[in-house]
Every structure is written in C-alpha cells, then in structure tokens.
Chain A
Amino acid sequence: MVEPVPSTRFTLGNNRAERVSILGIAPGRQFVFRGPREVADQCGAAFGVDLPASPCRANRQDGRAALRLGPDEWLLIALPDDAVLASLRHSLSRFAHALVDVSSSDAVFEIRGPSTALLLNAAIPLDLSPKTFPVDACTRTILAKVGVLLWRTEQECFRLQVARSFAAYVHDVLAEAAWGLPDA
C-alpha cells in the first residue's frame, strides 16, 4: 500500500478571517462497485448502505457512504479500519459485477467554511447553489485542469478527491484562489 498523503502538507488552515479551510484527511477504505441495479441492491444490503438510485447522489450510514457516479457505477467509502471488503466479496460471489479496491488512489480534502462554494467556483464551473447541488450531491467534474470527485457533505463543507499526484496542484490552486475571496 502507498503511503498516505501527509495531512499537514496540504493543510492551509484557516485563512482570511476563518472563511474557509482546506484540510487533507485520510481517504479511508474505498471501493468502486460496477454492476446492474439488481446486483447493486445486493451490494447495498451487504454494505449496510443502499446504493443510491438517483444520479449524482450519496447515501450515508454508520461511517459508510455510497456515491452514485454513473448509471452502473458507485463509489463505496468506509472508515480506514473497516474490513468490509471480504464480506462484500463473499456476498457478491454469485453475481456478475466488478468490485475494485481504490483506497490508495486518491488524496482527499475537506474544505469547510461559509465561502467554500465560492472558493470552489474559482476553479469548478459547476452550479454549486444549494438548490442544484444540495447536501449529499456528488459528482466527478473538472477543477482547473484536473478531474476531481466532489461531494457536498454539509451545507458549508465539501469533500474533494483527486488523484494523489495532483493533490499539491489542487491544494495550491485553491489556496491561491482563497486570497481573492471578497472581504466579508
């Protein structure tokens, strides 16, 4: 397993009167599940979180989450010490599906504060208003020049994942954009 991204390297801390913070956090255990709806239901039952039927939505329960990324594609997120993979494999062994451990793939940032959506919109041309991108909306999109996974976990908090080699780039783009936030 690859060394985790050191959190401190990517911690900007609170800046500009605590309007936003960018914090590197542990990615946890992550799996991509791909399969038809019937098998997704089996997977949800074994995972303890229903795999969402609506596009670009996340379900959460007891430290686990299931994000729908495409018509037959879900990202399953569990806590770092969660040994759920073995039981998932066992429950799904009779069904045609793909289940891949991607825990070491991405660096994860938690971006928090009242200006978070405004900050992200410096590099993400997506409508992040609470009406079109409410809590538990999630999607892959583009941040500046790289593909990222964005998930609104709270009204003023987003979880942002990016391939590990782009982590420093994404952090620096956001940190620079934070200097341009308007005075409150």
Chain B
Amino acid sequence: MLLIRCPYCETARPEVEFRHGGEALMERPRDPSRASDAEWIDYLYMRRNPKGPHAERWRHVHGCGRFFNCLRDTVSDRIVVTWRAGEPVPEVTDGDGA
C-alpha cells in the first residue's frame, strides 16, 4: 500500500484514506465571458496524461477532507512530493514526499 503524506495532517497516511482528483494546476480562463470555445474545451476536457511525473489533485477524503496537490510518477507510482492547494509548486529534491 502506498503511503501518502497529507500536507494538512502533516503525516504519511495509508492510500485507502485518499481519492484521486484529476490533473492539478489547471487554470480557469481569467475572464470567462471572453474565453473562446476552444479555450473552454481546453480547460474543461484536455488533459496531458503523461508517462512520468504528473501534477495531480488528491483529496484526503477519509481524513481531514482537504484537497491538495501531488507530484506522482505515473510509471513507478512513486509520490515525489505533496503540497497544499493554492501554494506554489515546491522545489523537488530527491527523497521528498511520502
């Protein structure tokens, strides 16, 4: 079982307490009424689905209930680092995360 560090509970917790919440860092059009259809489609539906490091939203649904951000390697399933929603992406140094 993966151990995931919740940035709000500040401890590593078992994977079953969490839910995946899709790709992170998706920026909503700043002026929605002026956004073109193509920009909306981009924002709503288009995702990167990379092989390798992937910024994701996760939710500590069976803990504090909070959404947070997570950098996970989609090849190895290794959680590189987690950080609080709305905070800048942390510098990744080896050995971070869970």
Taken together as a complex, chains A and B put the C-alpha atoms of A140 and B65 apart, in Å, by 9
Chain A interface category by residue count: 10 to 19
B:1-37 near A, CB below 8 Å: 1, 8-14, 16-17
Contacts of B12 in A (CB 8 A): 127
Per-residue contact bits, chain A 113-151, to B (CB 8 Å; 1 contact, 0 not) = 000000000000111000010000001111000010000
Answer whether residue A73 sits at the interface, using C-beta atoms and an 8 A cutoff.
yes
B67 to chain A, nearest CB (A): 11
Partner of A141, one of B8, B63, B65, B66: B63
B48 in contact (CB, < 8 A)? no
How does the 8 Å CB contact mask read for B65-81 relative to A, with 1 for contact and 0 for none? 11000000000000000
Sample of 8 further A-B pairs with CB below 8 A, known A55-B8, A127-B12, A139-B63: A55-B10, A56-B10, A70-B8, A70-B63, A140-B64, A141-B63, A142-B14, A142-B62
B10 proximity list for chain A (CB < 8 A): 55-56
| Minimal beta-carbon separation of A7 from chain B (angstroms) | 27
Q: Which residues of B contact A70 (CB under 8 A)?
A: 8, 63-66
Least CB distance from B45 to A in Å reads: 31
Is the C-beta of A175 less than 8 angstroms from some C-beta in chain B?
no
Most A CB contacts (10 A, CB to CB) among B16, B17, B63, B66 go to B63
Closest 7 CB pairs of A and B: A70-B64, A125-B14, A147-B62, A55-B9, A142-B62, A142-B16, A71-B8
Q: Which residues of A contact B14 (CB under 8 A)?
A: 125-126, 141-142
Which B positions have Cβ atoms within 8 angstroms of A? 1, 8-14, 16-17, 62-66
- The answer, among B11, B63, B64, for a CB contact under 8 Å with A132, is B11
B16 touches A125 (CB 8 A): yes
- A141→B64 contact, CB < 8 A: no
Known contacts: A125-B1, A125-B16, A141-B17. The answer to whether A56 contacts B66 by CB under 8 A is no
Residues in chain B near residue A73, CB distance under 8 A: 64-65
Interface residue from A56, A125, A142, A147 paired with B11 (Cβ < 8 Å): A56
